[in-house]
Amino acid sequence: MTWKRHTLVDISDAGRAAALADHADGEGGRMVTREQAAQVLLAEKAGARIPGIVRRPDRTVPAACVPVGFCSPWVGPEGRLRIAAVVSRAEVLRVTSPYALLGSPLPERTPSLRALAVAQRLAGRLGLVLGAWGSAALEIYTGLPYTHQGSDLDLLVAPAPREALACFMGEIRGLEERYALRVDVELDLPAGYGVQLKELLGEGRMVIGKSFADVALLPRAHVLSQLPGQAGAEVADIVTN
């Protein structure tokens, strides 16, 4: 399997226990104790099966393993508790992409979740395939209160004609004003890189691409050339009608 950033993976109870056993107190430069890690890793303590998020490895990882990160739903003085782990692929029970998440009814508890519901409808009218990651994705997956009044919204969009993407980005700016939040839209490129859509639609010669393996500077013109052809209808009409 080819792993991609933002993918959520449900880990077996045995895999969670192994990740907890491997956790070192104070790992990552923060004083994250094993008991604190247990509150996130173990379903009976967290109140839900918090998924691991596929992340870029920070060291050599055996081929039979996958690097993941776990994130707590609560926010402390230093932010959310984050735990890096390496788990055996054999302990992965389910894999959920950012796109698959939006196949379920969406909660609208906070501004970012309400904005997500609107963004999903806009994307549908433009023929875009939309996904979510970050705190909104974790709340949809677990039902735990990951978002709050000041949460940003992180979106993923599949390649589409430039006109449709530009129109969507224009609508997103309106959403930011309407809900008083920041919305980051990442374009999911076939080669495995993700680039900020706002940056891609700007004027710079290069854009930053992030993948499971690395971070690279990509020629903006080349990325644009990889997008599907021109839309068959006037995008503005799709949005306003």
Whether 163 and 127 share a structural domain: yes
How far is Cα 91 from Cα 20, in angstroms, rounded to an integer?
14
User: Of 73, 96, 119, at which residue does a domain stop?
Assistant: 96
Helix (H, G, I), strand (E, B) or coil at 135: helix
How far apart, in whole angstroms, are the C-alpha atoms of residue 17 and residue 15?
5
Strand segments (E) across 167-222: 183-188, 194-196, 206-210, 215-219
Closest CA to 199 of 213, 184, 189: 184
Instruction: Based on the fold, state whether residues 67 and 161 are members of the same structural domain.
Output: no
On whether both 65 and 89 belong to a single domain, the answer is yes
Check: CB of residue 145 under 8 Å from CB of residue 109: yes
| Pairwise CA distance, residues 64 & 43, whole Å | 24
For position 25, what pLDDT does the model report?
A: 58
> Total domain count for the chain?
2
Give a yes or no: residue 1 inside a domain: no
- Domain final residue pick, 96, 125, 146: 96
Residues of the domain holding 33: 8-96
In a domain, 26, yes or no: yes
Model pLDDT, residue 30: 53
Whether 202 and 235 map to the same domain: the answer is yes
State whether 89 and 22 are in the same domain: yes
Same domain, 34 and 103: no
- What pTM was computed for the model? 0.90
Residue 115: closest CA among 132, 94, 127 = 132
Residue 40 domain-assigned (yes or no): yes
Beta strands in 139-220 (DSSP E): 153-157, 183-188, 194-196, 206-210, 215-219
Q: Evaluate whether residue 171 is within a structural domain.
A: yes
85/116 same-domain check: no
- Assess contact for 218 and 195: CB atoms under 8 A: yes
* Domain membership flag for residue 2: no
* 67 lies in the same domain as 138: no
54 domain residue, yes or no: yes
Q: Are residues 183 and 200 in the same domain?
A: yes
Residues 126 and 223 in one domain: yes
Q: What is the pLDDT of residue 103?
A: 86
For residue 14, being part of any structural domain is answered with yes
The one-digit pLDDT tens for each residue of the chain (241 residues) are 678 999 999 999 999 999 999 987 555 445 678 899 999 999 999 999 999 999 998 878 898 999 999 999 988 777 889 999 999 999 999 999 999 999 878 899 999 999 999 999 999 999 999 999 999 999 999 999 999 999 999 999 999 999 999 999 999 999 999 999 999 999 999 889 999 999 999 999 999 999 998 999 999 999 999 999 844 444 433 343 3
11/90 Cα distance (integer angstroms): 9
Pair (66, 183) in one structural domain = no
Asked if residue 96 lies in contact with residue 133, where contact means CB atoms within 8 angstroms, the answer is no
Considering the domain architecture, whether residues 90 and 106 belong to the same structural domain is answered as: no
- DSSP class per residue in 76-134: ETTEEEEEEEEEEGGGEEEEE-HHHHTTSPPP-SSHHHHHHHHHHHHHHHHT--EEEEH
Q: Which of 96, 111, 128 is the last residue of a domain?
A: 96
